[in-house]
Structure 1
Amino acid sequence: MNIIKKLKKSNKVASKNEIDEKLEIDGLEERLNLKILLLGSGESGKSTVLKQLKLINKIELENDELLEYKNGLRRNVLQCMNILTGQLKPHELEYEKPESQDLALLLKKAEEQYLNEDNSYFTSEVASAINFLWTNEPSIKKVWEKRNNFWIMDAAYYYFDNVMRFVDDDFELTEEDYVMSRIMTTGIISTEISIPPLKYTVIDVGGQRNERRKWLHCFDNVSALLFIVNLSGYNSVLFEDNSVNRMKECFDLFKQTANNEIFKNTPIFLLFNKKDLFEEKIRTDSINICEEFADYTGSGDLMDSLSFIEKKFKSAINNGDPDRIQVFHIAARFKRDIKTTWDDVVSKLKDMKKKEIESIIKELKSKNVDTFSSS
């Protein structure tokens, strides 16, 4: 009887030791999982950056995701054309082609169908109407030239140019379609990227004002911030409020985030995005059109304008070491830009945590854990 009792006690002790060791190993492996927060105001290009990261790291889409992005393109192109037709009157413009008024009405009805969750709204007639207005109606091109006065998606031109392809039920979603499709981020999207010996959990939260209250739930144990700035927003307005400049909103948000006490010692990778659109815009509109950059007296030169904006953002830091900020100028629609940036981010994080990583791997090896291998 005594022997049985001793055996039972011995088993309990062994079981507890195993549990303790498993918890310790889990804790060590968790320290090799770096949490990166993807932040920025609405339409900064956060989701585009995340899509490119998925492509670069060969994270495949599920069939339902593919369908969601295909349907997203159809919604995008319809919404954008209805925005343009709705802006004719405020800009004192009228249709110049006799059939345009009826085509615009057809598109309004299609949008009503979509809002009523009738998925049959995107027909060949609807696609043809959008294509006609974009390619043949002069007033649409005129109001398009005034798009800085109202909100419209930055990629609207891409949707219009490809609308006849989108109408085919079996159209093949290209990488560019996937990247350009806009589906508003709501809630929190977490993506895990494994690059041994580390794992990176990239967290994207909605950038619109009503989504930002959810950010607080993601602030714990953050290894780095990727803050995305829409450069081309310096002369355009918000989706939520057409009286507020996009760049002004973004600058205020960056200042608030970067100076948050919780991020005092957190490295910040500042990605100035949509450089291609920005370069186009500054040919006609100086950056001093934006309230935050009113003191800019330089030319429309790309590098002069970028340098000024970069200094403005860096000067907004009054908490922590400003040198913890690394700056990149990108166009997130191009995979090569994100690949170069991501490689740099990963390299810098590994260098910063080199001693800690080596110590953790050594400890894991002492416990015969081969899950991670040095790279």
Structure 2
Amino acid sequence: MKGAGECGKSTVVKQMRIIYADGFSDIERLQHLPIIRGNAIKSIAVILHAMNTLNIQFEDRNLDPLAAMVREFQSNYDLTINSEIPGHIVDAVEKIWSDPNLKECYKRSNEYQLMDNAKYFIEKVRQLSSMAYMPSTQDIINERSQTRALVEVMIDVDTRQHRGTFRIIDVGGQRSQRRKWVHAFDNVTAIIWVASLADYDLTLQEDQKRPTNRMKESLTLFESTIHMPIFRSKNIVLFLNKTDLFKKKIKTSPISDHFSSYSGGSDFDAGCQFFCNQFLSKNQNERRRIFYHFTCATDTQALTHLINSAVNTIMDDVLYKAGLA
């Protein structure tokens, strides 16, 4: 399982656990709680920081002291313990979130680094701050934490067409994590590459001094990776992810502003096919097959069908190469 940072790889792996394994126990859910609470507080703090950067002021200037209080609390929030969110911070977050000018800043999130599901967690801040709160499956799917180590998941898959045990390896997509990739993928059956369609107007989080377009980085990384000697003969399942965010975004953020060769306007299908073709064009091995799917990794029901299809594709290829099909 490969791809650039923030593309949704870890979300796909979580979904595989939900679909094919036992999901998450109560103990595991509680282990996610500090991260989920941290996502809520970090998200509102990032927007507040962006308001300063973009020179946006609250419509209600009485919110300034509350904003300072929330930012100070976030800077001291400790993910290593089950940090609670005090009631006065919850009250402050809700008041800040209701300000029209902050909402305008939120709409401009392509101009700064904000997690995709910020709104989801900010609007649940009172619920998830409860001492008795048990994170839901959807909370865990939506949470964001950077993958800093190899994550392996073993799943038993039965698609009616094929049955087998799969070892899925997820690695960090940030530049600092990529050196771990090569040794982790010896003797793989296939590559599942995840790319975020919604990244076309975003820049890399780790490259702010010289902003690099995330989609262009993903394309470059895809091309360099698939032509490495250990992957040169491997077939690829390409998940073009975050279709839900992409569909909303192209209505207000033109693709052509970032990819001048695009001429499809705000047409969703045209945009999807344009970026799909961009990835397909990077393949220089005519014998290699690339199977692509348009995905929304947070939609369990829709992803179940797509993962089953991807598994069947991988198994068909394995049997064909073994002379058994």
TM value normalised by structure 2: 0.92
% identical equivalent positions: 29
The equivalent of 2:85 in structure 1 is 122
**Structure 2 residues not aligned, in runs of 5+:** none
Unaligned runs of 5+ in 1: 1-37, 360-375
Which of 225, 230, 237 matches 2:203? 237
Partner of 1:112: 75
- Cα displacement (A) at 1:63: 4.3
Matched, 1:204 2:165: no
Structure number, greater radius of gyration: 1
RMSD, matched Cα: 2.0
Q: Which residue of structure 1 lines up, in the alignment, with residue 125 of structure 2? A: 163
Q: Given residue 145 of structure 2, which amino acid in structure 1 is its aligned partner?
A: I
After superposition, what is the alpha-carbon deviation per residue over 1:47-83, rounded to whole angstroms, capped at 9, x for unaligned?
1101111000132424443123221111111111111
Task: Summarize the Cα distance change of 1:117–1:151 in structure 2 as closer, same or farther, 3 Å threshold.
Answer: same
- Matches of 1:267 and 1:39, distance apart in 2: 13
Q: Is the 8 A contact 1:187 1:206 kept in 2?
A: yes
Counterpart-to-counterpart distance in 2, 1:152 and 1:100: 21
Q: Which residue of 2 aligns with 1:42?
A: 5
Answer whether contact 2:194 2:240 (CA < 8 A) is retained: yes
CA distance in 1, matches of 2:114, 2:320: 48
Q: Which has the higher helix share?
A: 1
Aligned partners of 1:355 and 1:306: how far apart in 2?
Answer: 30
Tell me how far apart the structure 2 counterparts of residues 192 and 358 of structure 1 sit (CA, whole Å).
26
Match of 1:142 among 104, 107, 111: 104
C-alpha contact 2:157 2:165 (8 A) present in aligned 1? yes
Structure 2 vs 1, CA of residues 355 and 171 (structure 1 numbering), >3 Å: closer, same or farther? same
The structure 2 residue matched to 1:224, chosen from 190, 198, 203, is 190
Runs of 4+ in 1 over 4 A off after TM superposition: 115-121, 355-359
What per-residue deviation string (whole Å, max 9, x for no partner) do you get for residues 220-246 of structure 1?
101011100110010112221231211
Corresponding residue to 1:333 among 298, 302, 305:
298
* Range moving further from structure 2, 209-218 or 65-74: 65-74
SS at match of 1:87: helix
Structure 2 counterpart of 1:352: 317
Following superposition, the deviation at residue 355 of structure 1 comes to 6.3
CA distance in 2, matches of 1:117, 1:262: 37
Asked if the contact 1:229–1:272 (Cα under 8 Å) also holds between the matched residues in 2, the reply is yes
Distance verdict in 2 for CA 1:117–1:328, change over 3 Å: closer
Q: Distance in 1 between matches of 2:72 and 2:294?
A: 41
Name the CA distance, whole Å, in 1 between partners of 2:152 and 2:83: 32
Shift of 1:337: 2.4
Q: Deviations over 1:178-229 (max 9, x none)?
A: 1001121111000001237521000000111111111111121010111001
1:194 corresponding residue in structure 2: 156
Give the one of 238, 247, 255 matched to 1:287.
255
- CA shift, 1:42, in A, is 0.8
Structure 2 distance, partners of 1:63, 1:167, is 17
Aligned equivalent of 1:99: 62
Equivalent residue, structure 1, for 2:180: 214
Query: Which residue type is aligned with residue 315 of structure 1?
Result: S
Separation in 1, partners of 2:249, 2:225: 28
Partner of 1:54: 17
> Following the alignment from structure 1 to structure 2, what is the Cα–Cα distance between the partners of residues 276 and 219?
30
Equivalent of 1:81 in 44, 62, 66: 44
Query: What SS is found at the alignment partner of 1:168?
Result: coil
The TM-score normalised by the length of structure 1 is: 0.80
| Contact preservation (8 Å) 2:8, 2:297 | yes
Partners of 2:85 and 2:71 lie apart in 1 by 12
Deviation, 1:357, is 7.5
How many Å separate the matches in 1 of 2:157 and 2:269? 34
Whether the aligned pair in 1 keeps the contact of 2:21 and 2:156 (CA below 8 Å) is no
